[in-house]
Chains A and B, each alone.
Chain A
Amino acid sequence: MLRRFLPPVLLGLILMAVAWHVTLVQTPRALMAAATHRIANAGSGFNTMTAAPLATSDSRMIVRPSPDLAYSSCPFDLSKGPVLVDVAAVPAPYWSLSVFDARTDVAFVRNNVQANGNPIRVALLGEKGGQAPPGYEPVPVKGDKGIALIRILIDDRARFPQIDAARQASSCKVLGS
């Protein structure tokens, strides 16, 4: 009896370990892909910057949103070439740009302190490569899709309209478009 059942049970255990690992590895990619498309559908599509309203209890775009931050996001698709991200300086005590690839790894992050309060300009380069135009810092990204996210600290909600107006100058577009 043992001789009959041991091999298939061992196979089952091996497949269980493989399925467990594959599921864990694929979960971030699946959730990131879903979030990227969700943000693109809620905004103006891929390769455009969308300024979201401040998070409330009704916000479901991402989990664990910070109510202290104003988010502007650019779901990018590098299959058509490099994407240029321009982040305008805003009158807030903290703001930053972070770029996440399809695997949820951070490809780039910089805040206003590191940028000395100056605008941040980066060129996102995908697997096909390409060159960053003058004035833009090249940022290699694994895979074609991901999210560039601007965070701005809103320490006083009364100042949000002023900051909201200033952040509209930030942009995201395919090189040459």
Chain B
Amino acid sequence: MAEDAIVDAVPPSHRTRFGLPTLQTIVIWVVCAMVGIVAGILLAVHSVSSGVFGSQTAIGPWTTGSDFGTADASAKTRAVVARRGLLALPASEARYYNAAVDDSGQALNGHCRYRISGGALPARWWSLTVYDGDGYLVKNDPGVYSIGSAALRPDEQVRWNVAVAPNKQPGNWLPSGNIDHFELTLRVYLPADGGSGNLERTQLPAITREAC
């Protein structure tokens, strides 16, 4: 049926005397079809590869989404989550906030020193983790990859600071491993609102580049 439609769409001037499309016409159709299929696949792969984990909503430098693991998730969200955070929990269990840039919009650079400052979050517990561009933990000598609310002193719970830098820093320190680009993921477990809403900009940690 589809072949009939293609043959019908070929003007008489581009058919042989037997009424069939010329070889040149067939080549044009085949090339267009193949280019279309390959372009569609490449565009989809690029879209997923360049997609940010939880990119539906931007809140300052943080991006998030709330339909992970649900049937409501769009095809693109589902593909990006599978690529960037397979087996992510639904919003009622955990909310994921990802940052690939600082407060000024510059990409997070593992050669620089950043100050991450935040306060108490309306959840049972939270953790902040440094990942490389592929979504894996950043190699570092002390083997420190994250900091969580459970590890903070009681007096730090309401106002905390973490330095993200390649070299050891006083206080709370997350090594950035001297890599060119890193990302931060803030996991907020058992959010007080059941995951129905996003944290506000004032509740999410500030990401300030201090030195480079």
Residue ranges of A at the interface with B (Cβ–Cβ < 8 Å): 3-5, 7-9, 11-25, 27-28, 31-32, 35, 55-60, 62-68, 93-94, 96, 98, 100, 103-106, 109, 111, 113, 147, 149, 151, 153, 155-156
Contact = CB atoms under 8 A, between A and B. Distances in A.
Contacts of B88: 64
Interface stretch (B111-119, B164-172, B185-193): B185-193
Nearest to B35: A12
A64 B85 contact: yes
Interface of B: 6, 9-11, 14, 25, 28-29, 31-33, 35-41, 43-45, 47-48, 53, 69-71, 75-76, 78-79, 81-90, 92-93, 124-125, 127, 129, 131, 134-140, 143, 145-146, 148, 150-151, 185, 187, 189-190
24 contacts: A3-B11, A9-B32, A11-B29, A12-B35, A16-B37, A19-B39, A20-B47, A21-B44, A21-B75, A24-B76, A24-B79, A28-B79, A58-B139, A63-B84, A64-B53, A64-B88, A66-B127, A67-B129, A68-B150, A68-B187, A94-B125, A96-B93, A151-B89, A156-B151
Q: Counting chain B CB atoms within 10 Å of each CB, which of A15, A20, A93 scores highest?
A: A20
B69 A23 contact: no
Nearest to B146: A67
Given A19-B44, A56-B137, A111-B93, A66 B86 contact: no
A43 to B, nearest CB: 15
Contact of B137 (A20, A67, A147): A67
A50 B139 CA distance: 25
Nearest to A18: B40
Nearest to B147: A68
A41 to B, nearest CB: 16
A32 B129 contact: no
Given A20-B44, A94-B190, 17 more contacts: A3-B11, A7-B29, A15-B36, A25-B79, A27-B48, A57-B139, A57-B140, A57-B145, A59-B137, A64-B131, A66-B127, A67-B145, A68-B146, A100-B69, A103-B78, A109-B93, A153-B189
A8 B29 contact: yes
A107 to B, nearest CB: 9
Contacts of B81: 28, 104
Contacts of B10: 7
Contacts, number: 185
Nearest to B127: A68
A106 B89 contact: yes
Nearest to A6: B9
B105 to A, nearest CB: 23
A62 B37 contact: no
A104 B40 contact: no
Contacts of B36: 11-16, 19
B87 A147 contact: yes
A62 B6 CA distance: 45
Nearest to A8: B32
B190 A111 contact: yes
A60 B136 contact: yes
Given A4-B11, A23-B44, A64 B79 contact: no
Contacts of B137: 55-57, 59, 65, 67
B86 A35 contact: yes
A99 B61 CA distance: 31
B190 A113 contact: yes
Contacts of A155: 125, 148, 150-151
A55 B137 CA distance: 8
A103 B48 CA distance: 16
B82 A32 contact: yes
